[in-house]
Chains A and B, each alone.
Chain A
């Protein structure tokens, strides 16, 4: 792998909450322009890893280098520059309820550029157009469906043309048709704009459809259990954690279903 192709480098990252370690010594790279998906069962630390990568949480140890800058050690203006270079789409969209969709998308431009208001609106409309919402700019977030909210959130995340876009469970709570549409949008944006996507997901069809590469996190090993092309992992991997994740077996009708395992404290964490 050419060093110039790497846009994110995570090295020896350990994260957790106090003495409770969720991930230990995790290392991986993300290549420029690829759709990189973090997969794993609920409670394995996917969202925790994402929150560390976007600087919301401080790791116990290790480094996270985004576009040449370590977000763990960055302070002040350097940290602000890093944050301007990433876009984040939260699971529920996190659109500001008091603003129209157009204002939501235009807000980062108003805050961080010297563009005139007419230009800000025009750029926001272009971003909305890229996600198929050009006619909904004057709508309030509460007036949109779940899929539209996620599309609007992607448009806002792209407002400053960040080279890296993080997404937390983009398909969660969406019907298969809307989810497939969103997958298509992600692929299209990755291919046309060259954006690097880092996505947290556990939706297998979506992962197989959009991901160039995945890392599979597991709470048993407290780290990466498998890594590679998801289609290859699905077809040929003999790693038990990967097999459990991809082979979602359904018990035959009438069979005795296993008793649900009680949640551990770790699994209960969002």
Chain B
């Protein structure tokens, strides 16, 4: 049997007696959270330094023992038993002995959740499978949402127009300030940066052409969709997610009301109705920003306005319209889906909200890439 390890200075309230084969730890004074903080490490160090033999815990001089003191005794006993040592408690009052019995199994609960022992290949396969299944779920849900829209167009009398109006206010009208601000600043910054570069070649006159084309064809729909995901998509997910946590969705389902028709439908219709106007206002704000830059370097407003639309064709506007409608369907659909799939608790609502925004941004990017390829082949 190894001897007890040397401790430089024993803390007050702990004494060590090392008889042959027996480690005697004596405690005096109260064993509460303040004193246990001091005693914990040296007492355990002494107990862990033993293999076999006996551990004798002398408590006749101990005063009040609270939960922290109890935990120290339970831990010392568990550590000694794990090393094959016999444990003897001396001087423990009847009530404390009873508590120690009640807490006897505490250290058995120390085992943590079983670790994932799958190999790397299985982990990667599982991860990919999860992503694929999720994407399939998203696509099928967006398809379901499209059916809801189609049904709404076929039977407008079944649509809850009041809810659509309220959602439209939240999605469209209330997002105007941020939309106009971002649009204005983007137009201003893009024009300013372009002017600085093109001035070297005397090409600043082409900045309005670039701004019109970029904004109407690409940046307008894209940025509006990103703002939709960040502002309204997150709100959809949080709102529906909270309803899931409060069992409101279960209540709805058991009342025979489809959450998709009742909650998702109005939000998607509102998004579809609002995003063309939002894009329009965004583009207008960006042109105002661009015009400000051009005016500041001496170009008249009429030159700016005539050149902005010089390269923008009807196809560009139609393409942008199709894009923003698809983006809006994807963003609002996936946001509502994430809300519907919320787990339990406040943190689950947070996760759903984050997931809604991230999924929305990924889908927008993917769809934009597909549109770029499609428009190239269609020569739009």
Binding site for B on A (CB under 8 A): 97-98, 109, 113-116, 118-119, 121-123, 125-130, 133-138, 140-142, 158-161, 188, 192-193
Contacts and interface: CB of A to CB of B under 8 A. Distances in A.
Given A122-B75, A193-B99, 19 more contacts: A97-B348, A98-B346, A98-B347, A119-B71, A121-B110, A122-B107, A123-B67, A123-B70, A125-B71, A126-B106, A129-B106, A134-B106, A135-B108, A138-B112, A138-B113, A141-B345, A142-B343, A161-B67, A192-B98
Given A118-B40, A138-B112, A159 B106 contact: no
Contact of A129 (B41, B102, B344, B346): B102
A125 B78 CA distance: 13
B278 interface: no
B194 interface: no
16 contacts: A115-B36, A119-B36, A119-B72, A122-B75, A123-B33, A123-B70, A125-B107, A126-B74, A126-B103, A126-B106, A133-B109, A137-B110, A141-B345, A142-B348, A160-B33, A161-B66
B296 to A, nearest CB: 50
Nearest to A95: B345
Contacts of A134: 105-106, 108-109
Interface of B: 32-34, 36-37, 40-41, 44, 66-68, 70-72, 74-75, 95, 98-99, 102-110, 112-113, 343-348
Given A134-B105, A134-B109, A142-B345, A123 B99 contact: no
Contact of B102 (A118, A130, A158): A130
* Nearest 10 CB-CB pairings of A with B: A97-B345, A142-B344, A134-B109, A129-B106, A123-B71, A161-B66, A98-B347, A125-B106, A122-B71, A114-B37
A205 B127 CA distance: 51
Contacts of B68: 109, 113, 115, 119, 123, 161
A113 B34 contact: yes
Contacts of A135: 105, 108-109
A37 to B, nearest CB: 24
Contacts of B66: 161
Tell me which of A122, A127, A158 has the highest count of chain B C-beta atoms within 10 A of its own C-beta: A122
Contact of A161 (B32, B105, B113): B32
Given A119-B71, A119-B72, A192-B99, A97 B41 contact: no
A185 to B, nearest CB: 10
Nearest to B38: A114
Chain B interface helix/strand/loop/mixed: helix
Nearest to B73: A126
B102 A192 contact: yes
A83 to B, nearest CB: 16
A133 B103 CA distance: 10
A159 B74 CA distance: 16
Contacts of B40: 115-116, 118-119
B108 A158 contact: no
Given A122-B74, A161-B68, A113 B33 contact: yes
Given A113-B33, A161-B67, A192-B95, A122 B106 contact: yes
Contacts of A116: 37, 40-41
Contacts of A119: 36-37, 40, 68, 71-72, 75
A31 to B, nearest CB: 19
Contacts of B44: 118
Tell me which of B34, B72, B102 has the highest count of chain A C-beta atoms within 10 A of its own C-beta: B102
A122 B107 CA distance: 7
Nearest to A134: B109
Contacts of B41: 116
A130 B103 contact: yes
A76 to B, nearest CB: 21
A126 B105 CA distance: 8
Nearest to B350: A98
A77 to B, nearest CB: 17
A193 B95 CA distance: 8
A22 B112 CA distance: 48
Nearest to A142: B344
Nearest to B105: A134
Contacts of B70: 123, 126
A138 B380 CA distance: 57
Nearest to A112: B33
A122 B102 contact: no
B95 to A, nearest CB: 6
Contact of B33 (A138, A161, A188): A161
Nearest to A115: B37
A116 B71 CA distance: 12
B109 A137 contact: yes
Contacts of B104: 129
Nearest to B67: A161
A97 B109 contact: no
A115 B36 CA distance: 7
A133 B108 CA distance: 11
A123 B36 CA distance: 11
